[in-house]
Structure 1
Amino acid sequence: MILIDALFINNGGGKVLLDYLIEEIEKKRLKVHYLLDDRIKNTIPEISICNKVSFLQGNIFKRHHFYKVHKNDFSKVLCFANLPPTIRLNTEVYTYFHQLIYINIPTEFSFLDQVKFRLKRIILKIFAKNTNFWIVQSNLTKNKFGLKFSFNENLIKVLPFYPHFSSLNVVSIKNKNSYLYVSNANPHKNHTRLINAFCVFYEKYKIGQLILTVNKYFPEVLALIDLKQKSGYPIKNIGFVNREELEKEYQKSEFLIFPSLTESFGLGLIEGIECGCKIIAADLPYTYAVCEPSVVFDPLKEESIFKAFETSLNYYTNLSTPKINNKINELINILENSQCN
């Protein structure tokens, strides 16, 4: 039996990838035990009655107890949230690393959040010996991760995977000068600079709409959005929506704008390209690792973001192109091939 350990995944892009992974595993009818966060109990894809699911609190001590109880139960293990098992297992273990914040902690984080990630970094180093291989989404992450933690690059596999939308038939008519940013609003996601720059852009040109996906867990950003809306700026916040509604927003939007200060992948960049959006993105390595954008900007400078909005008004702005391919089948093969009968 294979263990898929995703105990610390409960929202955002990680949850999107987890749902996709579960769906693909279930299609293959593999014999699997899922270890999942109890907060997603009612929001996971359908799982076969032949497979097992354990829901626990996202707690490292409860996770450790689980491994002690089940240490001899699995033919292979995939840890899907950066952290290897807390004990050494007598089986092959893969750990999916998808959080560059462990490597470069944004200065925008509060002091408490910076301390938390430093502690998480220490914990990762302690348990690193308990995994056989690491899986990452890009060569950029592979290089940074290997250098930061002095890991053998031969033990780091680059296997990007991501779900396609149900329909990739891009609509021919998009809302002119519409700018979509699909992201939660953690500090490194850079919403404040984006919103301020868009408002300056709108004041000058009186055109455009900014569409955001900020949920209730970010009250400060929601308050800023509300303030700008009441001041007459065309900012639309759709909050957290299902994949079907999100696809519609991508299909309608002319541009996908992505000002994040750090990403291990940037799922929105790929989704935007697949839905026919031109990409306006931060002039940072993570952008070029996954796509060739249409327009870039310095994400630390509101003036640069404003100028990117200006540049987007050029009718001849180039289309964006992807640089990666979906390797979900390769990942599933890794899990499947050494499965014991």
Structure 2
Amino acid sequence: MIIYAPNIHTGGGMVLLQALIDAWPSDEQCIAFIDDRIRGKVDLPAVWAVQYCSPSIIGRLKAERALKKLSGQNETVFCFHNLPPVLQVRGKIICYLHNLNLIGLVPSSHLSGWIKFRILMERSIAYLFRKRIDLYLVQTPTMRRALRTWYKGDISPRIEIAPFIDPDHLSASSPGLSAKQWDFIYVSDGTAHKNHKRLFAAWKLLAEEGLRPSLAVTLPARDDALVAHMKAIKAEHNLDIVNLGHVEHGAILDNYHKAGALIFASYAESFGIPLLEAKTAELPIIAAELDFVRDVCEPSQTFDPFSERSIARAVKRHLALPTDIVNPLAPSDFIKFLRNV
């Protein structure tokens, strides 16, 4: 087998790659193309013949040429980087699709700058060479439906639902008597579909009602523009929001026990690992009323992720606070209202 995993170096993709590394049989050899940015940071199996891929256009082209040369008629090529090979390779091609951006679940108008350019290029590669894939593996029924819609053509691709995660990844230390530090925690980076700005706008609406629930977020340093936005709206409206920055996995799991609930503002996910983590930690989940959420958990409250008011109302329901529900008048009372208005 050849594992082809360039550009997998962070986030959920890295969590899953680490799970494969840890579970790999000690007697099963393979060739592995690994992103150079994790060189020296991960202990790779001794039975892997590793080729590191530079995260540049030239580096990726070199990796593609090496993949073409090493592939064989009876070989299985496992494309873990979400894309088909750019160059024609021999053997059975399996693509593990766990990036929803590549099949258009996040509109391009929600992206910007270099990220938008890169995603549009990758979408083109994914679509132009999609028929090279013999088998797609996805994590949820929602992703399978989206992939079928995106694929088009007369022939539907073979798609199997095959989620996996290391059970130890979901295991946190015992909550013990840990005091709650925050009402809510949102574990996520700051990519556009994670919806932080609308979440912060919901906190602003709550503050306008005199409500200031505490919220912890985990925005890394690379999301400096979003962090600056958070600080500005926090200062202007005296919001109780703290950014924990990048948090290592073990500490994230412990932090779940310091929060009253997970609030998950994202409007598109291929899997949603924090939902699984929170479910394992028996933490209440407030999330979007979308299929990908209910693929993996039963949230305690849901909202429209495109409405900050809907998010604010879900927060109030979770906190058992009254919401602004309209109570219609009886016709006779309405007539009295008209007389006195």
Same structural fold, with TM-score higher than 0.5 when normalized by the shorter chain: yes
In structure 1, what is the Cα distance between the partners aligned to 2:136 and 2:101?
A: 17
Indicate the larger mover: 102-111 or 193-202.
Answer: 102-111
Whether contact under 8 Å (1:64, 1:86) holds in the other structure is: yes
Listed one character per residue, the Cα deviations across residues 59-81 of structure 1 (whole Å, up to 9, x for unaligned) are: 44122222133223973221111
User: Which of 40, 43, 46 is matched with 2:41 structurally?
Assistant: 43
Listed one character per residue, the Cα deviations across residues 93-115 of structure 1 (whole Å, up to 9, x for unaligned) are: 21101122222232322276545
> For 1:175, what is the secondary structure of its paired residue?
coil
In structure 2, what is the Cα distance between the partners aligned to 1:181 and 1:19?
A: 23
The residue aligned with 2:180 is 175
> For 1:86, what is the secondary structure of its paired residue?
coil
In structure 2, what is the Cα distance between the partners aligned to 1:112 and 1:55?
A: 23
Whether contact under 8 Å (1:170, 1:275) holds in the other structure is: no
The residue aligned with 1:321 is none
Listed one character per residue, the Cα deviations across residues 251-278 of structure 1 (whole Å, up to 9, x for unaligned) are: 2222111111211111111111111111
The residue aligned with 1:72 is 72
Q: How do residues 83-94 of structure 1 correspond to structure 2 at under 5 angstroms?
A: 83-94=83-94
Deviation at 1:160, TM superposition (A): 0.9
Deviation at 1:243, TM superposition (A): 1.2
User: Which of 272, 288, 291 is matched with 2:278 structurally?
Assistant: 272
Whether contact under 8 Å (1:251, 1:276) holds in the other structure is: no
The residue aligned with 2:112 is 110
The residue aligned with 2:336 is none
> For 2:69, what is the secondary structure of its paired residue?
helix
Q: What TM-score, normalized to structure 1?
A: 0.83
Deviation at 1:195, TM superposition (A): 1.5
Whether contact under 8 Å (1:170, 1:276) holds in the other structure is: no
The residue aligned with 1:226 is 231
Q: Residue 118 of structure 1 aligns to which amino acid in structure 2?
A: L
> For 1:134, what is the secondary structure of its paired residue?
strand
Q: How do residues 20-59 of structure 1 correspond to structure 2 at under 5 angstroms?
A: 20-25=19-24, 27=25, 29-44=27-42, 46-58=43-55, 59=57
Q: How do residues 185-264 of structure 1 correspond to structure 2 at under 5 angstroms?
A: 185-202=190-207, 204-230=209-235, 232-264=238-270
Q: Residue 5 of structure 1 aligns to which amino acid in structure 2?
A: Y
Deviation at 1:168, TM superposition (A): 4.8
Whether contact under 8 Å (2:71, 2:91) holds in the other structure is: no
The residue aligned with 1:333 is none
In structure 2, what is the Cα distance between the partners aligned to 1:73 and 1:180?
A: 49
The residue aligned with 1:156 is 159
Q: Residue 56 of structure 1 aligns to which amino acid in structure 2?
A: C
Listed one character per residue, the Cα deviations across residues 33-71 of structure 1 (whole Å, up to 9, x for unaligned) are: 221111121332x22333222111134412222213322
The residue aligned with 1:304 is 310
Whether contact under 8 Å (1:86, 1:130) holds in the other structure is: no
> For 2:222, what is the secondary structure of its paired residue?
coil
Deviation at 1:229, TM superposition (A): 4.7
Tell me, yes or no, if structure 1 residue 287 matches structure 2 residue 293. Answer: yes
Q: Residue 53 of structure 1 aligns to which amino acid in structure 2?
A: V
Does the C-alpha gap of structure 1 residues 41 and 202 become closer, same or farther in structure 2, counting only changes over 3 Å?
farther
Deviation at 1:314, TM superposition (A): 2.4
In structure 1, what is the Cα distance between the partners aligned to 2:172 and 2:224?
A: 34
Q: Which runs of 5+ in 1 are unaligned?
A: 316-341
> For 1:292, what is the secondary structure of its paired residue?
coil
Who wins on radius of gyration, i.e. which is larger?
Answer: 2
Q: Residue 161 of structure 2 aligns to which amino acid in structure 1?
A: V
Deviation at 1:125, TM superposition (A): 2.1
In structure 1, what is the Cα distance between the partners aligned to 2:73 and 2:173?
A: 44
Q: Residue 209 of structure 1 aligns to which amino acid in structure 2?
A: S
Listed one character per residue, the Cα deviations across residues 8-57 of structure 1 (whole Å, up to 9, x for unaligned) are: 212111111111121111x554212221111121332x223332221111
State percent identity of aligned pairs: 29
Does the C-alpha gap of structure 1 residues 208 and 42 become closer, same or farther in structure 2, counting only changes over 3 Å?
farther
Q: Residue 42 of structure 1 aligns to which amino acid in structure 2?
A: G
Q: Which runs of 5+ in 2 are unaligned?
A: 322-341
Indicate the larger mover: 46-55 or 214-223.
Answer: 46-55
Deviation at 1:133, TM superposition (A): 0.6
The residue aligned with 1:12 is 11
Does the C-alpha gap of structure 1 residues 57 and 252 become closer, same or farther in structure 2, counting only changes over 3 Å?
same
Does the C-alpha gap of structure 1 residues 149 and 166 become closer, same or farther in structure 2, counting only changes over 3 Å?
closer
Q: Residue 22 of structure 1 aligns to which amino acid in structure 2?
A: I
Q: What TM-score, normalized to structure 2?
A: 0.83
> For 2:66, what is the secondary structure of its paired residue?
helix
> For 2:23, what is the secondary structure of its paired residue?
helix
User: Which of 115, 125, 128 is matched with 2:127 structurally?
Assistant: 125
What is the root-mean-square deviation of aligned Cα atoms in Å?
A: 2.5
Q: Residue 140 of structure 2 aligns to which amino acid in structure 1?
A: S
